[in-house]
Every structure is written in C-alpha cells, then in structure tokens.
Structure 1
Amino acid sequence: MSAETLANDNRIPNAGDDIHQLQTINSTGNAVTLRDSVEVALKNYFAQLDGAPVTDVYQLVLSEVEAPLLEQVMKYTRNNQTKASTMLGLNRGTLRKKLKQYGLL
C-alpha cells in the first residue's frame, strides 16, 4: 500500500494489519510491540513469585491492559462513546459498563 493510499485510508485498523501494530519505544530506543511488553512483564512477574501460589492471572493482565486501553480510546474519541464502542468492537452498553468498572465514567 502506498503512503498516499495509507493517508487516504479511513477504515478502522484490523489487528492483523502490520502497519497498525501497537508499539512502544523502550529505553534503548528500540520499537517493542505491546505483546512483547506483556510477555516480558509476565516473565518478570512469574520470576518474582519464587514458587508462591497465584490465582487470577488472566484477570490481573486483563485489567492492567483494559483500563489504559479504554482511557486512551475515550481520549482519542473525545469521550464519544458511540465512536469508542465502534473502535473497540463493543456494544455501547458494554463499553459503559467497563468504563464504570474502571472509574472512567
């Protein structure tokens, strides 16, 4: 896809679109995907457990990712819940429930 085509492309990005892959820059200046960041965080978390029992890891990770995701999408859409729910692929009612859950509404 050319740069001009990308500039005129108004579709909502799909998870599989490489051009839209979620990235951050680490302390060494290298691009790191969100997936890589989660993987590193989980490896560190498990290493610190030192064999201690743990439960609800799924919910822990989900809440750590979901809250900032919702916050940033709401900022991006200027708190337009209809646009945000479309971007997220959620029903507007589900979005409102999640916003309340994380104290964002």
Structure 2
Amino acid sequence: MEDESAPERASVGPIRACVHDTVTAYFQHLDGQASHDLHRMVIEQAEAPLLEVVMRECAGNQTRAAAALGINRGTLRKKLRQYGLED
C-alpha cells in the first residue's frame, strides 16, 4: 500500500464505500434484469456533482478547479458544458 496522508485515506474510503453500496443497491433493484451502460451511468452520476462542488469550493475559478481535479482547463470547460454547469 502506498504511503498516503491520513486526510487522503479518509476521503477515499467513504467515496469508494458509497459507490460500492449504490451499485450493489442498483443491482438488487434490477431484480435479475440486464443492466446496460453501467460504467457511463456511474461516471455521469458521480462526475456532475463532483464538478459542482469543486467549482463552488474554487469560487468559480476554472484554473484552480482544473488543478484540484487534475485535469486541464479545456477538459474542465468541456465537462461543465456537457453537464450544463457553465456560468
């Protein structure tokens, strides 16, 4: 295991557990029916609120938000448009 700081470990665990629990519940609700495009659905459901919160925490500064997300500013702008989150 990599040597991570305590805040990083604390923030990763709950998110992973939340996704795990949500996907487990999703399959239980399917009641045997096939699922389709699960990866896309999970990414979209997680990415939009992630972008909203990061943009709020960065006071709308796209350069800071992109740095916090580890993506370039152009990618951030594209994703903000994709989810209808542009100013």
Following superposition, the deviation at residue 49 of structure 1 comes to 0.6
TM-score by length of 2: 0.87
Of the three residues 67, 87, 91, the one matched with 2:48 is 67
Whose Rg is larger?
A: 1
User: What is the distance in 2 between the residues matched to 1:18 and 1:37?
Assistant: 19
User: What is the distance in 2 between the residues matched to 1:90 and 1:97?
Assistant: 11
1:5 alignment counterpart: none
User: What is the distance in 2 between the residues matched to 1:72 and 1:97?
Assistant: 17
Residue identity over aligned pairs, in percent, reads 44
Which structure has more strand as a fraction of its residues?
1
Runs of 4+ in 1 over 3 A off after TM superposition: none
- Greater RCO between the two (CA within 8 Å, min separation 6)? 2
RMSD: 1.5
- Structure 2, unmatched stretches of 5+, are none
TM-score by length of 1: 0.72
2:11 alignment counterpart: 22
Following superposition, the deviation at residue 97 of structure 1 comes to 0.2
What number of residue pairs does the alignment pair up? 82
Q: Secondary structure at the match of 2:46?
A: helix
User: What is the distance in 2 between the residues matched to 1:17 and 1:60?
Assistant: 31
